[in-house]
A and B are shown apart, each in its own frame.
Chain A
Amino acid sequence: MDSTVSVSKGCFVFKKPNKEKNNKRRSKKQLTTNQPEAELWHTTYIDVWNNIKSKIDDLNGSIYSKFISDTVNFMTKSNITTNQSIPTACLLTGVNLPDHESLFGLLATNLEKSQPPVIVATLFSEHFSSVKNAVISMVSQLLHTDDDESDSDEEMDESLNFVVKRSECTISNLIEWYSNQPNGTRIAVLVKDYEMCQQTVLQNFILLLSCYIKEIPIVMAIGIATSISNLHNSLPHHVVTKLKVKMFVSEASVVFLNNIMDQVFLKPDCSFYLGGRILDYVTEVFLYYNFSIKQFIESLKFCLIEHFYRKPLNCICVAHESAQEALFNSLDKKTLEEITKLRSTNYKLKIDSNFKENFLRLIRELKACINDFYIGLRVLHILVADLPHSPLGTKLREMYCTAMKKHIIDDTSYKTCLQLLKFLSKDDLLAKFDKIIHVLKNVKNNQRTKDALKLVQSYVKSLEESHLNNLVIEKEKPKEKPKESLQAISRSQFKKILIENVKNEDNQPMTEFEKARSETLDNFTEIILRQFLVPPTTMPLNELLIFDDLPSIKRKIVGEDRAAQYTAFINPQHYLCCDCCELEFTEQIFKTMPDISIVYKLHLESRFDQINIYDWLQKFISIVGPSQNDNDNDDDIDPVLQSRFVRALNELQHLGYIRPSKYKADHVQRLTCGSC
């Protein structure tokens, strides 16, 4: 029996896309005008997000710039005329397939800008269903770019202004069109996802292009997600000889993640602050699941929406200081009460005449604290990032996560760091302090930093003055050791004393530098780092600025389909919000539940993986059917109930919980195991 023959038969209407694009645009505009633009949270969100987005875009461009420029260089400069081979750039871009689209878009725009002119066609795996399709989509893309240009150029041939028909998209037309192009124009064919293309079609397509290379200078770029050996494994020799391959390796996507965190989010000028737990979670999703920057950014965007949505208080905190007062006055009493109920305020904030001033003062303090925190974090990063075994991690984001949760100075791993630091050489330590001074100098308008700067400079001075070889003459000599104790009473005591003696002798006199080093580091930790690295999450009102509500977004960022199904079946009230099926314990079954839920719960009661459908139906009727259970009309079953049952059964089958049994006709096989 075919499992797809189920209740879910249906037909889907695919409307032809509207040819007039203007119409679409208009309707879109109408949609957007219906949006509640006036609402505070929305405008704030848009502001913050645009700010972040533009920074990310800049960063992406700068990271990709070398990769792109190398590729463009190869594609525009490489010699085409050599024996029928197409210059091909193999872009090894890592496995995060969703991000490739933006990369190829960037490449295409860069190619179009380059000199000599390059006209680009981007092909995706879905175009490679047949050679014909591939050629048509390539040619139509190439000819259409020309259309756009000819709009401004009215003297162009009129026939070119028409949208080219699919049947006319042939290579011969392309050659004809190419003869009208300026001299030296190249045609670039970008193949985005090599692994997903049908290999035979791609091979024939390459052979086809190589036939025409004398007429049209074609260059190719192939995006390969896995490794270059894949190309060699899947293309036969006679195809490979038609290509002149050069590899280009892009940066690993982890580099992007680190850069985005360091340059965009973990900077004081970003007005969106992430909590440690959230950041931990999204980076885990990134590293463990998909390596997708795109999804990472989207989930942060979602956090941002969640943070601002219908929360005027959060918006006020982000707003400019001059506007805060006015905005605060517009709040109603209920929201004000919410503030006092926040856990972080410790119930000390009361609604009184000074309430507004207190609130704004606290927010200012919190912001100052966050600023200091970021500075401290960078200082800490310089200090501990390159230690052996990196007890605190090597990345800023890792330290951020730890430091956000609790005071990092009290962390045991910081103590190991400190021990390791005390082994550093003079040059290394001074280099680190140099960098720290540099960081501190770049901060403006901050009294605390100025003080810290002075302190650090004094440390540096004392370190520089200390000599490596001069021993510190310790004035207080160790206490006179009672010699007579060597004649000990018992063997164990004797051993103990010996060990102690060794320990004392081990305490070699420190050199001047060593002493200065350990003092400096201790002072630095206690005086500077301790005051800078106060976790903002311990400050009052931190909930309003720092988003750390992991449970509310966890399921929304990463869907758990099976878990959601399970809850829906076991406890339909969770989604339906009806008041008739409130469960006292999970196995409970009510008549009012949806049929599929009842059927599911009944099937959990079965102890074997083969379930008799008739018994199942009887149970179902006993729950759903009329309450009087007379023995005489046992045989005839209400057809309505039966059809309801069969329908629910089909739905279960469609969802993959059961399937028809191979052994007995009236049995079904359970596909899940255990009691869930």
Chain B
Amino acid sequence: MFRRSEQDKRPQVQIFVDGVAVAARQGDTVSAALLASSCDARRSTAVSGAPRLPYCMMGVCFDCLVTIDGVGNRQGCLVPVAEGMQVEIQKGKREIGK
């Protein structure tokens, strides 16, 4: 859906999405890194289980909700990637303990 412009010379940062290594760039938000990757980043909603991807990318819509380093319901569009970060695509509502 999106690709990186060749002029982007930022250093790579490796994150893991459901255990699979994904190359992000320093300064990417988690949501941007997911949309730039080839992974199926669709979460499913808590109400009906409908698939969603980020809609606003500016912290207002909450369609980017994702589990980051074991913590659920994080707004992926507001969190910058970090080396070794563990991202899980969140299916349904946040689970207790996450």
A and B pair up = no
Which of B's residues lie within 8 Å of A, judged by CB? Answer: none
